Amino acid sequence: MKLSLTKVVNGCRLGKIKNLGKTGDRTMDIPGCLLYTKTGSAPHLTHHTLHNIHGVPAMAQLTLSSLAEYYEVLAEYKEGVGKFIGMPESLLYCSLHDPVSPCPAGYITNKVLQKSVIIGVIEGGDVMEERLRSARETAKRPVGGFLLDGFQGNPTTLVTRLHLLSSVTAALPEDKPRLICGVSRPDEVLECIERGVDLFESFFPYQVTERGCALTFSFDYQPNPEETLLQQNGIQEEIKYVDQIKKIKTTGCNEEMTSFEINLKEKKYQEDFHPLVRGCSCYCCKNHTRAYIHHLLVTNELLAGVLLMMHNFEHYFGFFHSIREALKSDRLAKLKELICRQAS
Ligand SMILES: [Zn+2]
């Protein structure tokens, strides 16, 4: 595994991770995200439907706990995890925990993983000295990259945590990728990229899907003049959602919902015949309306999760593509301003 940086702008790193996979000919763009999976499967989706999504990351995330559960079966199967889960061509990243349903620690060795590249974990909580010690000591080990752990959590300490993050990434060698766990919201992703983080998990679109919502935030920082009116309408709509979210938060309902999404279970979508996002090229938006998704949700049809997952993944992967394009053209500040305006 080799990191090749093409550009660094104010700490934001643009580049490629090369020499990935068994034959070493696979690459992955950074900043980027991993494909969130449940035991190797993208939630709600078959591999066939997954291939209908544009921009699917080259690397999928598995959890060690799920591998440990299948350990004896895998040992008997002998043909590797990738083939067993039906993704023989995929690059797999194995994390200790599932970011959505944390599991107890304690899995320490696994023969299935012996030939894998090891990612060093940087710990130390909120103590600067311990974080720096962990960074320096881990950097001395033969690791392929670094996992920044424990930076998610209490928003009141966000400034402190971001300061800590800057100091930790500054202490790490430039030539290895840095992955952060537990951070997946668009506004937080941008804050971390500015502090030298390269890779993220993609559990956020899954959480959005699970609460019957669709990602609708705009990441188009250079709208086509012909679409200006649509954009303006979109922004008006977003502002309404921000107000709505603030109202929801003050009444204490549905606290997890963010202003980056809309709740399709709401009655107002019953006769809304627009796609989830105007101009979105995903399978769901090209073929279905908000009203249909609303109907599927209120009647508890499993197809709701499938269609929402297809849209939410494609929207989220498109956001990362937009980050890389913005970095290439020195317009990340413009993208960040657009995202922060939509954050509640
Ligand atoms: Zn869509």
In this structure, are residues 43 and 99 in contact, taking their beta carbons and an 8 Å threshold? no
Distance 286 CA to ligand 1 centre (A): 7
What DSSP line would sit under 311-323, residue for residue?
HHHHHHHHHHHHH
Residue 29 CA to ligand 1 center (angstroms) comes to 23
Q: Quote the Cα angle for 339-333-55, to 5°.
A: 60
Strands (E), 174-247: 178-180, 199-200, 213-215
| 258 CA → ligand 1 middle, Å | 18
Q: Annotated binding residue at 295? A: no
From start to end of 111-173, where are the E strands? 119-122, 145-148
pTM for the predicted model, two decimal places: 0.87
Instruction: Calculate how far, in angstroms, residue 90's C-alpha sits from the geometric centre of ligand 1.
Output: 24
N-term to C-term CA, the chain: 38
Q: CA-CA distance, 215 to 206, in Å (whole number)? A: 10
Which pLDDT does position 100 carry in this prediction? 81
Q: How far apart are the CA of 336 and the centre of ligand 1, in A? A: 22
Neighbours of 311 (CB within 10 A): 27
> In angstroms, what is the span from residue 232 Cα to ligand 1's centroid?
19
Ligand 1 center–CA 15 separation, angstroms: 27
Dist. CA 58 → ligand 1 center (Å):
21
Distance CA 208, CA 221 (A): 23
DSSP category for residue 96: S
- Output the CA 311–ligand 1 centroid distance in Å: 4
CA of 156 to the centre of ligand 1 (A): 33
CA dihedral 151→137→174→109, nearest 10 degrees, is: -70
Which regions of the chain does DSSP assign to beta strands (E)? 2-9, 12-20, 26-30, 32-33, 35-36, 59-63, 91-95, 119-122, 145-148, 178-180, 199-200, 213-215, 261-263
Q: Which residues, by Cβ under 5 Å, contact ligand 1, an ion? A: 280, 282, 285, 311
What amino acid is encoded at 2 in this protein? K
What is residue 234's predicted lDDT score, i.e. its pLDDT? 54
The pLDDT, as a whole number, for residue 72 is: 85
Cis ω for the linkage preceding 205 (within 30 of 0): no
Q: Is 311 annotated as a binding residue?
A: yes
The predicted structure's pLDDT at residue 114: 59
Distance (Å) from CA 177 to ligand 1 centroid: 30
Predicted pLDDT of residue 243:
54
Taking only the tens of pLDDT, the chain with its 344 residues reads 899 999 999 999 999 999 888 788 899 999 999 999 987 889 999 988 998 999 999 999 988 877 777 788 888 988 888 888 877 778 888 887 788 875 554 444 455 555 678 889 998 888 889 999 999 999 999 899 999 988 876 655 778 888 899 999 999 999 999 999 989 999 999 999 999 999 999 999 999 999 999 999 999 988 766 655 555 555 555 555 555 544 444 444 455 899 999 999 999 999 999 999 999 999 999 999 999 999 999 999 999 999 999 999 999 999 999 999 999 999 999 999 999 999 86
Residue 253 assigned ligand-binding role: no
